[in-house]
Amino acid sequence: MDLERLLDKPVLRNLRTFVGTVRAITFVGTILVSASALIYLVARNFKVEPGLAIGLIVLLALMLAVSVYAWRYVTHVYDPPFYEIFDLNGHLTVERANSHRRYVYERRQTVIATRDDLRLIEFRAHWTGQGAAGSTQVESIRPEHVVFDGRRGESDGRVHRWVYPRRQLKRGQPIEVGIRQVHEDDVQEQLPYFREGGGRYKTRKVTVCVVLPQDEHIPDSVRGVAWNTNHTAQQGEEVGEISVHSRVDAVSRSVEYTVTYDKPKVFHSYGIEWVWAHQAGS
């Protein structure tokens, strides 16, 4: 049984709803009980100790003002993400295509809705290379889902896409979504790195894998890197190194490199960079 079906069992779904309801009732009940206690103390001490009663009135007014502000903030300002990413997997296969390269990219992620009515799951991407117009192909990894493609990059250089599973998800409900993209760099060569991250979404685990032609890169140049990407895509700041695991496929004459990172930071990306053989010594 996979995670999505397990967490979507009626018992667990109803339990999450029950817990949320209890929290809301506890919050409102605490305010009402506290306000009632202060009103009682004010009525009891107003004639005997007017100074204390006035202090209690001020405290009551302050508590009510803070409660109203908290309510307005939660209902009108507070805008948490609609989901968390339970598991994020990014995979890139690089293939030779005449005088340039073809890139087969796949990103799979299991997300868990943190609010009701989740319908769109965001995918942000940035590619440094450039191919001929119309050569990029993007599709959902699941045929029943729909991809809404922004196509052109925004001012930060990233292209935004969304996957629509053709149904709404309730809070606590998980789902696996993903996209598959094929593109080439026959116009402008792509820089030799590949990274993934959850952006502003809390993520529990990131796995990044890249498959490179064995005779076209320098194995000793491969590094696992962490970047702070809380700014434009072109200005990612390197903030650390992470271990890389490699596996050679003698049949396809390729090498698979993988990095894994648990509990990644928001607005951070993790991945792999390398040097092409033709760039060595240049």
CATH of the domain at 252: 2.60.40
Q: For residues 212 and 191, what is the distance between their CA atoms, to the nearest angstrom?
A: 13
One domain for residues 60 and 167: no
One domain for residues 123 and 55: no
One domain for residues 50 and 103: no
In the chain, how many domains are there?
2
One domain for residues 66 and 87: no
Closest CA to 24 of 75, 84, 100: 75
One domain for residues 47 and 186: no
Q: For residues 124 and 142, what is the distance between their CA atoms, to the nearest angstrom?
A: 18
Last residue within a domain, chosen from 77, 93, 112: 77
Domain hosting 238: range is: 83-279
Going residue by residue through the chain (282 aa), what tens digit of pLDDT does each one get? 455 555 555 655 555 555 555 565 665 666 666 667 666 666 666 655 666 666 667 776 777 777 776 766 666 556 778 999 999 999 999 999 888 999 999 999 999 999 889 999 999 888 888 888 777 899 999 999 999 988 887 777 788 899 999 999 998 999 999 999 999 988 899 999 999 999 989 999 999 999 999 999 999 999 999 999 877 656 668 899 999 999 999 999 999 999 999 999 999 999 999 999 877 665
Q: How many CB atoms lie within 10 A of CB 275?
A: 17
One domain for residues 72 and 88: no
The position carrying tokens 């990172």 is: 261
One domain for residues 101 and 225: yes
Amino acid at 206: V
One domain for residues 113 and 253: yes
pLDDT at res. 1: 43
Last residue within a domain, chosen from 59, 77, 95: 77
The position carrying tokens 């320098």 is: 218
One domain for residues 209 and 274: yes
One domain for residues 49 and 66: yes
pTM of this structure: 0.73
Query: Is 130 exposed, middle or buried, given 0-12, 13-18 or 19+ CB atoms closer than 10 A?
Result: middle
One domain for residues 18 and 102: no
Last residue within a domain, chosen from 77, 92, 110: 77
